[in-house]
Structure 1
Amino acid sequence: MNTSIIDIPREAKEKDNFGIAPFENGLKRFIENSSTPITIALQGEWGSGKTSLMNLLQENLCDNENQQKPFNSIWLNTWEYALMKDAQSTLVSIIYQLIKEVTNLSQAESTKSEKLFKTFAKFSNKVALATSKVIAEKAFSGSGEIIDAAFNSDSNNSVSEIRKQLEDIIESHKTKINNKGFIFFIDDLDRIDPPVAVELLELLKNIFTLKNCIFVLAIDYDVVVKGLEPKFGILSDKNEREFRSFFDKIIQVPFSMPVASYKVNDFLKESLRNIEYITTAQASNDVLITKLSTIANLSVGSNPRSIKRLLNSLSLIKCINDAKEDDDLKLETDTDLLLNFFLVSLQIAYPKIYNILVENNDFTAWNETIALNYNLKPLDENSQNKLNQMEEFDEEWEKILFRLCETDYYLKQKALSLSSLLNMIKEIVENSLSTDDEDKEDLEHYINRIISLSAITNLKANDNNSISFHKPTLLKNARNKILARLKEVMPNYANQIKPIGKRVQVNAPIRIDEKTSFNLSCGSVDGKIKLDIWTNLWYFPQNHPTIKETFKDKDLLNDLEILENEYNGLVTKFMLGSSIYKFAKLLDKEHTNKDGFQSHLVLSVRLDNTNSFYENSVINKICEAVQIMHDYRTKILVLTNKINNNG
């Protein structure tokens, strides 16, 4: 077993895990036969494989020792020269290092080298003087003014001299060893301050546009955009051309990393097996692997670094849970594995949505309350109508998701993927549930049970509302006290009241009678510990939009509303004068799933610490609520049986 996936750039002789050899070979052939000077940009987000691709190009095209290959290479990690330096020092250091590498590799004559370094010294001094003048005369807004100041001074003559002397040294070396010249690999531009990265691109354009030289830059276009904002303002439809024109001026050939074409399925399956997240039998289950791959594709995508982070997070979660002495939290079923995989993927790709899900587990119940809590902008009538025509956003919770995505530029682009992802998980969980299970879980409590596993790998600013406690201990102790009290207050059922199962997995089920079971689950919300006591009402196949319309169709709506009013009256009386109990009204928790309508009868208790849940007054109130829910669940099932028997 390997517990981690190494996240370092791929070396040239290592296995091609993502099937990108055709792209690598095509780019190699293009460079090998290019006219010079030319600048090629390997464009891609952080972790998309830019450095790995440059490793391969360097290995296949360059030779600095035996001269058996067509080019010499110079490799520069720009961020190494940016550490603990201001913008001016960073730029000067990088240009100096490139000049030094050229003179060393070409073994230039000492007189030529000395002359070149003297010219560069004059240039750097003039840059320093020009920069100082800018700082003295006005507020300095960033490195964007360094190059403007430098090239508006007489240092422009020094640039021409540097370029001319470099060309002479490179041409002499090329003639001497009979190769095609130099390839400069400029890496990690997306790791330095964006305005500095932009200024470096301009410097390279002005100084290193040289015959017999090819520049290969690893760059994220978003970094260029951020670096140009001091000049052009925030990117918009009106100024997008200015941003693009700058990029086109520097770069002759853009090469976008073919992330969408990466073949991740085999790598994902092999890696999940290596970290023992799945068994050999599960690795052979094509349906399971396809679902895992689909979840990955809709979340972290094909970005190699994101996939490796996902795998390492999963491995860490597994190691921690394997090391636990108790057996309370285990991923036992394929659905458990898929749900945990989904939650960690969501955490990495969409942390904002993940953190909302932590607080509001049942995403299918997201409604205007969520919208108010997160200050979401209302939808206008036109937007409402458009979304109603889209399968991905026609339900209320999907519209809330859409509005959440509208608050974030990145999420806005991923709204469709997020809707597909959440709907896929909804279907997976619902298809795993059976109406015959005594301890069946709905989506909310299924997520609540699994989500605690992914919490340990969540990157989040300090959350003063978060409370750490041992869920199984709370559930076991609370269940024991509730069972004992229920036998006293419900003597007719005393012989039937008992726990279901010995293990507790953040869900502690109890039986009241042969037809009724309750579940206990817990979590934290708003700085409090929350204990839920709930039972499901499984109704009948979904033939109408709502439960009430189904009852109306069978002439039973009046009977249902009488029970509803009675139940809601008892709920209101129960909560009177207390803020620690949240007792849901009868049809507040209405949902649909593959079996038809489902509604929950739920009591939530919120307290500051676990010991408070064991107090007699709290146990008595919980048992009072259980009696109410049990009584009316029995009455409602009489009505639903009439519907089922009639239809």
Structure 2
Amino acid sequence: MPDIAMLSDAPVSWRRDLLQFRRYVDPLMSIITSQDTQTPFTIGVYGDWGSGKTTLLEMVDQRLAERHAEEFVRVHFNPWVHRREPEMLLPLLNALHNTVSADPKHRFTEMVKKLGVITMNLAADELLKKLNLGAVSVEKIGKLAQQYAEMRGQIDSQTGRLREALQEQADHLAKENRKIVFFVDDLDRCGPDQIIDLLESIKLFLDLRNVFVVIALSKDVVDRGVSVRYEAFKFPATVHIGDDYLDKMIQLPVHLYPLGPAEVGRFIRESGPGKLAQQHVAILEQTVTPNPRKIKRVLNLLRLTEAIIDATPRLADLHTDLIARLVVLRVQSPDLYAEVARLPTLLHAIELVHQHKLKYPPDWHDRFGEQADRLRELSDVYTTKYDFLALLFAKSAFAASADELSVYLTMIGG
């Protein structure tokens, strides 16, 4: 059997830019590297789950590394990795500390020392908060409380000077013609409180001269985080506090354009999709959700299904256009696919609905008898839930293969 090439969900290099992210990368590079761009400057990259936000951040980072390595200190921070931390400021500063510590030329020795002191004090604060007093005497509790109060005073003072200290370090780098760029990704995978904690830490401590922040955001997730954090304030429904919140911290919102059928089709053709996908690009570009992650999942499942068919002679006569449609259904509406796996006649029913061949209740009973009411109920639910079904079933012919539907469904997984 020949090798089966799968598409990874990892960010792609700008050299293999199948979705034309260069249209964002080049302008963003120009903004970040321009001597006339005033700092602090925060760029928000907005997009849905799987839309390519991480890829865009990676491409900007790659270009900076290749063309402007000496001009920028590039700091990468993934808050989701630190989601179990009580707050995000310490791991955020640790990311900066680790980046400058790892410099092979040891150009940031003084900065490393100062950041080390700051992070040690903040870490001590977190340890004191977690102090277990369960087995400590009343007398010792009093002493520990006094020690804690003294330490808190020192830490509060240090935290109060944190912004000033960070600005001092950023200015020091600027004298050497270097600026700091923070890349913050996977924020929308964190809990609502953590999302707002990090955004507020960025605003409070990284809103500095000579500092850029490029942060990937899902607007809906941030809106929910803001609503949870400020629920007690009972803002009217007409007040869009999520918009106002982000407007105060992001100077440039970059919204990833939704992909159209042409972009989806080009991505499929140029990604080495395999014979099955190539045969049915027209179906796929119209029905696959225009989201890079979804496209890759559909293509991967099609490649695996193609290999199964090639290795099973009795499957050679299956209609490949139905296979392509079912793979799209499997990936994009797993709940509907599960219902279809239990009741394959549902495919026939939904097909007839979208082909306008079931108009009146008697039509359902004439076609499906005792199953009619259940099929109609399920059809009503899913027809309104998924917009892509109209295109998926407009020219399908599942009814003609009714006797073999269980074979199709079992092969694809159900």
**Equivalent-residue separation in structure 1 for 2:42 and 2:207 (angstroms):** 8
Q: Which structure dedicates a bigger proportion of its chain to strand?
A: 1
1:349 corresponds to 2:349: no
Structure 1 position 169, deviation (Å): 1.6
TM-aligned CA distance change 1:49 to 1:233, over 3 Å: same
Q: Does 1:404 align with 2:371?
A: no
CA shift, 1:40, in A, is 1.2
* Superimposed CA distance per residue, residues 438-497 of structure 1 (whole angstroms, 9 cap, x where no aligned partner): xxx636445444222211xx5xxxxxxxxxxxxxxxxxxxxxxxxxxxxxxxxxxxxxxx
Distance 1:109 1:121 in 2: 17
Provide the residue aligned with 1:210 in structure 2. 208
Partner of 1:54: 57
Q: Which of structures 1 and 2 has the bigger CA Rg? A: 1
Q: What is the root-mean-square deviation in Å for CA atoms of aligned residues?
A: 3.8
Superimposed CA distance per residue, residues 215-271 of structure 1 (whole angstroms, 9 cap, x where no aligned partner): 011222343244445424599982762333333333332212223257121231344
Q: Deviations over 1:511-551 (max 9, x none)?
A: xxxxxxxxxxxxxxxxxxxxxxxxxxxxxxxxxxxxxxxxx
SS state of the match for residue 4, structure 1? coil
- Contact 2:196 2:229 survives alignment (8 Å): no
**Of 313, 316, 330, the match for 1:330:** 316
The residue that corresponds to 2:5 in the other structure is 4
1:559 corresponding residue in structure 2? none
Task: Indicate the SS of the match to 1:61.
Answer: helix
Counterpart of 2:286 (choices 283, 290, 294) is 294
Cα deviation, residue 54, structure 1: 1.5
Deviation at 1:212, TM superposition (A): 0.7
TM-score (structure 1 length as normaliser): 0.50
Per the TM alignment, residue 392 of structure 1 is displaced from its structure 2 partner at its CA by 12
Q: Does the C-alpha gap of structure 1 residues 130 and 71 become closer, same or farther in structure 2, counting only changes over 3 Å?
A: same
The number of aligned residues is 370
Is 2:52 the counterpart of 1:38? no
**Secondary structure at the counterpart of residue 259 of structure 1:** coil
Corresponding residue SS for 2:396: helix
Question: How far apart are the structure 1 equivalents of 2:193 and 2:360?
Answer: 44
Q: Per-residue deviation at 1:313? A: 1.1
Report the Cα distance in structure 1 between the residues aligned to 2:277 and 2:64, rounded to whole angstroms.
40
Give the CA deviation at 1:213.
0.7
Which of 393, 402, 414 aligns to 1:423? It is: 393
1:372-397, Cα deviation, whole Å (9 max, x unpaired): xxxxxxxxxxxxxxxxxxx8997778
- Contact preservation (8 Å) 2:196, 2:225: yes
Instruction: Specify the alignment match of 2:24 in structure 1.
Output: 23
Displacement after TM superposition at 1:122 (Å) = 3.1
1:138-537 mapped onto 2 (5 Å cutoff): 157-176=157-176, 178-179=177-178, 181-228=179-226, 230-232=228-230, 238=237, 241-261=240-260, 263-271=263-271, 274-277=273-276, 282=279, 288-296=280-288, 301-324=289-312, 327-330=313-316, 332=318, 336-363=319-346, 400=377, 403-405=380-382, 415-418=386-389, 420-424=390-394, 427-429=395-397, 442=400, 444-445=402-403, 447-455=405-413
Pick closer, same or farther for the CA change 1:309–1:423 going to 2, 3 Å.
closer
Distance in 2 between the 1:237 and 1:94 partners?
Answer: 34
Larger helix share, 1 or 2: 2
SS at 2:410 equivalent:
helix
The answer (yes or no) to whether the contact 1:182–1:214 under 8 Å persists in 2 is yes
C-alpha separation in 1, matches of 2:198 and 2:297: 31
Distance across 2 between alignment mates of 1:50 and 1:43: 7
Q: TM-score, normalised by structure 2?
A: 0.75
Offset of 1:6 from its aligned partner?
2.8
Unaligned runs of 5+ in 2: 133-151, 351-355, 365-374
Larger RCO (CA under 8 A, 6+ residues apart): 2
Q: What 5-or-longer segments of structure 1 have no aligned partner? A: 134-152, 283-287, 368-390, 406-410, 431-440, 459-647
- CA distance, structure 2, for counterparts of residue 214 and residue 95 of structure 1: 15
